[in-house]
């Protein structure tokens, strides 16, 4: 692959791609991912028995904050004019699926924001339940975050 194929590379190093000449466009991206947990942990989440507080509400807030702060965390992402963020959870017997939908009005897509939101939401769940997920050796044999991906990106 030549340097010309990497939009963030120049002869002088890296740069943030210029998008100022592009038309403003309504854009949407949806990302998803899941965290695998023990059944007892899921039951504790559903019954609000986790000592740190309401897990899913806290994870929703973290996901929204992640979306809003993506350009601060990923060096070459543009700050975006976000117009809406939705964070949903589907709770199953041994996993929680997080879906984040992000809307914007601007010149570049919002997929990195959606992926970041999913990641932060799932990481927050892990942080809030780690005390009940770890085994007697302090390890997390049943806990994993998997399948983070963009499931839709569109101009609307």
Residues tagged active-site: 127
Q: Is 49 helix (H, G, I), strand (E, B) or coil?
A: coil
Q: Which of 99, 71, 68, 62 is nearest to 82 (CA)?
A: 68
Integer angstrom CA distances of residue 156 from 3, 23, 83: 32, 13, 13
Q: Which of 114, 116, 133, 109 is nearest to 55 (CA)?
A: 133
Q: What is the CA radius of gyration of the chain?
A: 18
Helices 111-133, 55-68: inter-axial angle, 10-degree rounding: 150
């Amino acid at each position: 692959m030549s340097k010309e194929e990497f939009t963030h590379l120049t002869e002088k190093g890296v740069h943030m791609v210029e998008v100022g000449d592009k038309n403003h466009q309504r854009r949407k991206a949806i990302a998803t991912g899941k965290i695998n947990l023990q059944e007892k942990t899921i039951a504790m989440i559903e019954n609000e028995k986790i000592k740190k507080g309401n897990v899913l509400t806290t994870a929703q807030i973290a996901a929204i904050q992640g979306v809003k702060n993506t350009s601060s965390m990923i060096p070459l992402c543009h700050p975006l004019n976000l117009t809406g963020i939705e964070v949903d959870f589907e709770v199953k017997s041994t996993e929680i699926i997080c879906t984040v939908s992000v809307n914007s009005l601007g010149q570049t897509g919002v997929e990195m924001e959606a992926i970041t939101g999913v990641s932060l939401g799932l990481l927050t769940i892990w942080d809030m339940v780690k005390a009940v997920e770890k085994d007697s050796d302090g390890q997390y044999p049943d806990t994993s975050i998997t399948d983070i991906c963009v499931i839709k990106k569109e101009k609307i």
